[in-house]
Structure 1
Amino acid sequence: MLRRNIRLRREYLYRKSLEGKERLLYEKKRKIREALEEGKPIPTELRNEEAALRQEIDLEDEQTAVPRSHIDDEYANAAERDPKILLTTSRDPSSRLVQFVKELKFIFPNAQRINRGNQVISEIVETCRTYDFTDIIMVHEHRGEPDGLVVCHLPFGPTAYFGLLNVVTRHDIKDKKSVGTMSEAFPHLILHNFSTKLGQRTANILKHLFPVPKPDAKRIITFANQSDYISFRHHTYEKTGGPKSIDLKEVGPRFELRLYQVKLGTVDQSEAQNEWVIRPYMNTAKKQKILG
């Protein structure tokens, strides 16, 4: 199993190294396509390669015309099966953190929770690969208050690091009447205001934690971005009368996420390349929207 993982990782890095060459070849073929469609002469710098490039163009279809990136490979098989998530915490968690992780287990369908104990991260990642888990979610705390959440996609990444703020568990919600029972149906997702390239990347990481719901599911999970703080809300709804009469109940928990790093690798790979890291000056740029 270890040799297989090493081989797969090597193949993944090799495909990633070819992206620059594939992008350059794609640009050459794009220029030739445009020249042929518009009836213009072939660019001078491409005339020596015209015959070979036109032969490749004739053999392409919709799937192969546009080069794929390593980001496409990360979630290439996501639609083939439902996600399988492992939930764990930092070592020696407080009772509040344990309670919060138990509630997260119901948030993410097909999630399994384990006690961290003395296990190191590399052992956890290797175990998850062995048992075909698709993601690992780790929750951290500071002085008994949950303050960090790590989402690691397997087998190759990416890994997103979030700060956790304003955590309110189900039993801490003041309006007890609004707290309904915890449904385990696959939820519908609402992803709001993830308009930038990094925002779309973040939304892609979050949405692949959830399987496809049934059309009649009455459970809604919302990730709403405002000023780069992602608000998480969990509701259920029921039709109470006419077609426009709906009773909306907050089930909880609720919290805010703040993205501060995306890494091109798994959580155990300290040498993995950073795709994006928040910088100190980003906090002072009030007009700059990172996610949307």
Structure 2
Amino acid sequence: LRATSGAEQKEEAKAEKSEAATAFPPTFSVSEIKNKQRRHLMFMKLKQEKRQVKIMQLKKKKKKEREALGDKAPPKEVPKTIENQRVYDETTVDPEDEEVAFDEGTDEFSAYFNGLTNPKVLITTSDRPRGRTVRFCEQLATVIPNAHVYYRRGLALKRIIPQCVARNFTYLMVINEDRKVPNGMVLCHLPDGPTAHFKMSSVRLRKEMKRRGKDPTEHSPEVILNNFTTRLGHSIGRLLAALFPQDPQFVGRQVATFHNQRDFIFFRFHRYIFKNEKKVGIQELGPRFTLKLRSLQKGTFDSKFGEYEWVLKRHEMDACRRKFQL
């Protein structure tokens, strides 16, 4: 017989204690509790504890079986998630495809990735922005190199775009707000588009985070794009990446990350710190926010007569939880 280790003995004692605590006392019944809410909570608590005990016993049994089989043990089961059960999309992009490489060399953003053009971004807001939106724009300008903040008052976007083109701006970013909270972003590539409209959520400023980092430096950050696999996702990823210069200055140790998960784009801005040869720490410089694509429009911003490449149709596209667009 194999001698049991100290860790296994502790687990057994813990399981026995929890099982003893879960079992009903001989003279006690939940039905004796007169308060209905209290009785329901007590019943659910005992039911949950029993379930946890069964799960622990099942895990322990499987572990003993695997140790007994040794090398003949079957491989561990991969848990099912929405991501690994994703419905295949016909527009999934192969990075080594010649057609994709040709499109990347001839699209609107090729000049940025070839080093021929450096981005110049104008950040503006809706009419009469509140304090939180103003602070968010100011912090966003410290994250994006060569970004300028302009607060418009009643000036239409159609009048702003020609002025931006005349001043050699390559992007126009509009931050919308609702009830004093930033809730939307319009990202217009100049001079010929495209224009993307995002819903914005989970906006947190740098001062609101528990770990306050120092301000970002003026070094050009590295840009990381994750999980932009379809044609549409590929276009959106290049649109977002072209906001930053494509010649990162590694001395600054700054990283801008756009992570796509279930068609939600999470933005984070970090600085990595080398603790030793094997360990690296990260320091969040902020701000952080989440984007959800609403529409992609050809050309510059035109809400009435614009031609749309893609529009989110919630009731049609969200019918299957395992099908994603990006």
TM-score of the aligned structures, taking structure 1 as reference length:
0.72
Alpha-carbon spacing, 1:237–1:107, altered in 2? closer, same or farther (3 Å): same
1:69 shift after superposition = 6.9
> What's the % identity of the aligned pairs?
35
Cα distance in 1, alignment partners of residues 243 and 155 from structure 2: 24
Counterpart of 1:200 in structure 2 is 234
1:287 shift after superposition = 1.1
Contact 1:180 1:251 in 2 (8 A): yes
Specify the SS of the correspondent of 2:135. helix
Cα distance in 2, alignment partners of residues 66 and 180 from structure 1: 39
Specify the SS of the correspondent of 1:80. coil
Alpha-carbon spacing, 1:284–1:216, altered in 2? closer, same or farther (3 Å): same
Q: Which amino acid aligns with 2:318?
A: N
Deviations 1:237-273 (A, max 9, x none): 121222x221211111111100110000101463221
Counterpart of 1:245 in structure 2 is 279
Q: Which amino acid aligns with 1:197?
A: R
1:76 shift after superposition = 4.2
Q: Which amino acid aligns with 2:235?
A: R
Cα distance in 2, alignment partners of residues 99 and 114 from structure 1: 13
Counterpart of 2:40 in structure 1 is none
Q: Which amino acid aligns with 2:188?
A: C
Cα distance in 2, alignment partners of residues 70 and 125 from structure 1: 25
Counterpart of 2:126 in structure 1 is 90
Cα distance in 1, alignment partners of residues 132 and 295 from structure 2: 25
Contact 2:217 2:252 in 1 (8 A): no
Q: Does 1:270 align with 2:319?
A: no
RMSD: 2.1
1:235 shift after superposition = 0.5
Q: Does 1:167 align with 2:203?
A: yes
Deviations 1:189-212 (A, max 9, x none): 110000111110110100111102
What is the correspondence of 1:139-150 to structure 2 with a 5 Å cutoff?
139-150=175-186
Counterpart of 2:219 in structure 1 is 185
Q: Does 1:128 align with 2:164?
A: yes
Contact 2:221 2:250 in 1 (8 A): no
Q: Does 1:119 align with 2:155?
A: yes
Contact 2:211 2:284 in 1 (8 A): no
Alpha-carbon spacing, 1:249–1:126, altered in 2? closer, same or farther (3 Å): same
Counterpart of 1:211 in structure 2 is 245
Contact 1:188 1:217 in 2 (8 A): no
Deviations 1:155-180 (A, max 9, x none): 1100011110110000111233xx22
Counterpart of 1:232 in structure 2 is 267
Specify the SS of the correspondent of 1:133. coil
Rg (Cα) greater in structure: 2
Specify the SS of the correspondent of 1:149. strand
Cα distance in 1, alignment partners of residues 307 and 216 from structure 2: 39
Cα distance in 2, alignment partners of residues 76 and 175 from structure 1: 37
1:146 shift after superposition = 0.5
Count of matched residue positions in the alignment of Structure 1 and Structure 2: 224
Contact 1:125 1:268 in 2 (8 A): no
Counterpart of 2:193 in structure 1 is 157
Counterpart of 2:140 in structure 1 is 104
Q: Name stretches of at least 5 consecutive residues in structure 1 with no aligned partner.
A: 1-64
Contact 2:219 2:251 in 1 (8 A): no
1:184 shift after superposition = 2.1
Alpha-carbon spacing, 1:267–1:214, altered in 2? closer, same or farther (3 Å): same
